[in-house]
Structure 1
Amino acid sequence: MEERKRKLQFRASRRGFREMDLIMGQFAQQKIDAMSETELDEFERLLATPDWEVYAWIIGNKPVPPNYAGPVLDQLLGFRYDARAL
């Protein structure tokens, strides 16, 4: 389990564009240790989704498709990252 969390943490902080690196990376850093196996599955699915799609959901430009709705995405949508890390 710890190995999986480390890999997900790494993937979350290396998304492809800076804003998503910060948002997903900081989110994983703060939340991943408390995630259940089911939540890790959901987070992994979000990491496999193209950045531009997830970013559009986060900033409110597009609605979240029902098949992606879940507790981890809800937490991510409400997450406030530290913009000073830019």
Structure 2
Amino acid sequence: MARQMTAGEDIAMRRKKLRYRAWHRGTKEMDLILGPYADAHTESMDAGRLDRLEALMSEEDPPLLTWVMGQAEPPAHVDRAFLDEVIADHSARLAK
């Protein structure tokens, strides 16, 4: 009989999977933006914030990169506040 995961184990596994996905996007540019963000923040995220990260990561890399770089405005369905948080995190890393 398989052991049932507890809620803590479930969210820990979800965080681990999201960190992996953030580093293995398909384009190196987005790996270098989302990977460090995920490494720095997923451990402190609750399920709702993980949902927001997952939704952002479900977007295709080419348009996502244009939004992060300020070359295009994201569509209305994109969580702009969360995207701005990712952009600010990336900008802070570049400034170091």
Kindly state the Cα deviation for residue 25 of structure 1 after the two structures are TM-superposed. 0.4
Query: CA RMSD, aligned part only?
Result: 1.6
Q: Give the percent of matched residue pairs that are identical in Structure 1 and Structure 2.
A: 30
Q: Determine helix, strand or coil for the equivalent of 2:90.
A: coil
Indicate if the aligned counterparts of 2:56 and 2:79 stay in contact, CA closer than 8 A.
no
Structure 1 moving runs of 4+ over 3 Å: none
Q: Which has the higher contact order (CA 8 A, sep 6+)?
A: 1
Tell me, yes or no, if structure 1 residue 75 matches structure 2 residue 69: no
Deviates more, 1:63-72 or 1:5-14: 63-72
**Unmatched tracts of structure 2, length 5 or more:** 1-10
Output aligned runs, 1:14-25, within 5 Å: 14-25=24-35
Deviates more, 1:36-45 or 1:6-15: 36-45
Aligned to 1:30: 40
Count of matched residue pairs: 83
Kindly state the Cα deviation for residue 70 of structure 1 after the two structures are TM-superposed. 4.3
- TM-score, normalised with respect to structure 2: 0.77
Larger radius of gyration: 2
Q: 1:59 to 1:70 in 2, by over 3 A?
A: closer
- TM-score, normalised with respect to structure 1: 0.85
What does the per-residue CA deviation read over 1:34-81, in whole Å, with 9 as the maximum and x for residues that have no partner?
112111111111111101111111000111222212443221021226
